């Protein structure tokens, strides 16, 4: 996805939603808990980007539904490290094709 815009679409006391808009009407919407009140307009997008990096490498050694091929399913997405390391965490995101 070629990113063309990133924006905060919702900010409440308990959650913040950030949208990543791409070419071809692709959109990833990420809702993050804000129960501790640490996210604000200045740091929410940076935090969402960090979450997306974690999401891209989360449990990459487990074949996922929708992978292009076995190599894609097993890849950790970190082609520069060459050490097979990965990051794990609990995340959720919604990917929408608005075409």
| Residue 83: per-residue pLDDT | 43
Q: For 14-23, write each residue's pLDDT tens digit.
A: 999 999 999 9
Is-contact 68 98, C-beta < 8 A?
no
pLDDT tens, position by position, 87-97: 333 344 565 55
Taking Cα atoms as reference points, which of 30, 36, 37 lies closest to residue 10? 30
pLDDT of residue 59: 65
* Domain map (residue ranges) of the chain: 3-97
The dihedral over CA atoms of 60, 61, 62, 64, expressed in degrees to the nearest 10, equals 40
Residues 38 and 99: their CA atoms lie apart, in Å, by: 35
Q: How confident is the model at residue 12 (pLDDT cuts 50, 70, 90)?
A: confident
Q: What is the pLDDT of residues 36-75, one digit of tens each?
A: 999 998 999 999 999 998 888 776 565 555 555 566 556 6
* Beta strands 15-22; 94-97: pairing state: unpaired
């Amino acid at each position: 996805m070629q990113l063309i815009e990133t924006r905060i679409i919702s900010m409440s006391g308990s959650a913040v939603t950030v949208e990543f808009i791409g070419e071809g009407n692709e959109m990833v919407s990420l809702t993050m808990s804000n129960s501790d009140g640490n996210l604000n307009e200045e740091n929410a997008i940076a935090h969402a980007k960090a979450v997306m990096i974690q999401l891209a490498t989360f449990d990459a050694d487990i074949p996922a539904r929708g992978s292009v091929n076995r190599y894609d399913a097993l890849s950790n997405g970190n082609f520069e490290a060459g050490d097979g390391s990965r990051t794990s965490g609990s995340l959720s995101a919604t990917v929408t094709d608005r075409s």
